[in-house]
Amino acid sequence: MKNPRGLTLFQKARAILTKIVPPKKAVQPQPAVVPTPAPAERPLPLPESPANGERVVFDERSEGHLRSLTPEAERRFRQWLTQVRHLGIPVVIIEGTRTFAEQAAIYAKGRTAPGPKVSWAPPGSSMHNYGVAIDFVVFEGLTPKGGQGKPLWGSPMMEQAGRLAMSMGLRWGGVWSGGKQDKPHIELPHSLSSLKQAMPKGWTPRK
């Protein structure tokens, strides 16, 4: 059965259907949905370090404690303090090396001397005795002598400064558990036993 244009009915129907039904599009593969892991810790922005050879001089109080440390500790804590100050955190180092005699006096408090206990470490068992630890606190502001205003022990900037230390390969006491948490404390990642062997009388700060 032919129409005047020479198409069979079937051909005509197919021509119509082809016009109406759009050709199948190739199905685009959907990108696989990768669940974004919740960020556990927001990394701190790391500002530029000072150029090689440039030595930042800090407030007198921090400088005094930095100079009491071993050369390696002094170098690494200077790097840390530079970064912390670049973040605008008014951190001051309030403790550095403690000699065995100084540690003995602190340990005696609340034991053989009056007052509350202030240290759990007898002489020779604190990282401060080997020149590889510091204590710090955030102040309201800074002066050339040290901190200005009140020490802010509970400030979130304490956490920020401590976490920055950890990102630089230092140990921060703020993450210690078992009643040992010590937010102001940072130390080099050395073992106490190897320090005792290397320095049986502890580190003697240079004058």
Q: Where along the sequence are the contacts to Zn ion (CB under 5 A)? A: 135, 185
Residue nearest to Zn ion (CB): 185
Shorter beta-carbon distance to Zn ion: residue 64 or 144 = 64
Shorter beta-carbon distance to Zn ion: residue 83 or 103 = 103
CB of 29 to Zn ion, least distance (A): 57
Round to whole Å and give the CA distance between 42 and 55: 29
CB proximity list for 199: less than 8 A, separation 6 or greater = 130
Q: How far is CA 126 from CA 41, 130, 132, in A?
A: 29, 8, 10
CB of 165 to Zn ion, least distance (A): 12
Shorter beta-carbon distance to Zn ion: residue 127 or 157 = 127
Which structure tokens are listed for 187?
Answer: 């130390």
Shorter beta-carbon distance to Zn ion: residue 50 or 118 = 118
Round to whole Å and give the CA distance between 94 and 62: 7
CB of 32 to Zn ion, least distance (A): 49
CB of 186 to Zn ion, least distance (A): 8
Q: How would you class 147 by CB atoms within 10 Å of its CB: exposed for 0-12, middle for 13-18, buried for 19 or more?
A: buried
